[in-house]
C-alpha cells in the first residue's frame, strides 16, 4: 500500500514541480511581476514534495532491498543500486533544492529577485527528478 501511495503521490509531485518550474521560468525570463499565485504554486510544490519524502522514507525502511545480499551485491546489481541508493539520494537532493529555492525566494523583495531562485532551484530539482524517476515502473 505504501509503495502504491508513493507512486501515485509522485505523479502529483511531478506535475506540481513541472508547473511551478515552468511558471517561475516564464515569469522570470518574461520579466513579469511576482503574484500570489506564484507563492501558492511554490508553497504547494514544497508541501507535496516533503510529504513524498516522508512516504519515501517509510517505504525505504519497510522495503527489504538487501535480504540476504551484502552491500557489495546490492552495489553490483544496477536495479537494486538504483532503488536502494541512487533514487533516494537524488530525490532527497531534489527536495533540498526545492526547499532552498523556496526559502531564498521568501527573503527577496522584488519580483525578479523572488522568481530567480524559484526558477533556478526548482529547475535543478526537476532535472534530478527526471533523471531518477523509475520510468519503467511508471508506465
Question: Residue 122's Cα: distance from chain center in Å?
Answer: 8
pLDDT at 41 over 90: yes
pLDDT of the residue at 133: 84
Whole-number CA gyration radius for the chain:
17
- Rounded (5°) CA angle 89-116-30: 125
pLDDT of the residue at 136: 73
Cell of 76: 553490483
92-131 tens-digit pLDDT? 999 999 999 999 998 888 888 899 999 999 999 999 999 9
pLDDT of the residue at 80: 77
CA separation for the pair 83, 32 (Å, rounded): 40
On whether the CB atoms of residues 74 and 28 are closer than 8 A, the answer is: no
Amino acid at each position: 500500500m505504501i509503495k502504491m501511495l508513493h507512486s501515485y503521490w509522485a505523479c502529483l509531485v511531478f506535475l506540481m514541480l513541472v508547473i511551478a518550474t515552468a511558471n517561475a521560468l516564464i515569469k522570470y525570463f518574461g520579466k513579469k511581476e511576482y503574484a500570489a499565485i506564484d507563492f501558492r504554486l511554490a508553497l504547494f510544490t514544497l508541501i507535496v514534495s516533503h510529504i513524498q519524502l516522508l512516504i519515501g522514507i517509510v517505504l525505504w525502511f519497510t522495503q527489504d532491498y538487501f535480504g540476504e545480499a551484502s552491500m557489495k551485491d546490492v552495489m553490483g546489481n544496477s536495479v537494486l543500486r538504483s532503488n536502494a541508493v541512487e533514487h533516494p539520494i537524488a530525490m532527497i537532493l531534489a527536495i533540498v533544492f526545492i526547499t532552498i529555492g523556496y526559502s531564498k525566494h521568501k527573503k527577496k523583495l522584488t519580483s525578479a529577485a523572488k522568481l530567480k531562485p524559484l526558477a533556478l532551484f526548482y529547475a535543478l530539482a526537476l532535472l534530478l527528478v527526471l533523471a531518477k524517476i523509475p520510468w519503467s515502473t511508471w508506465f
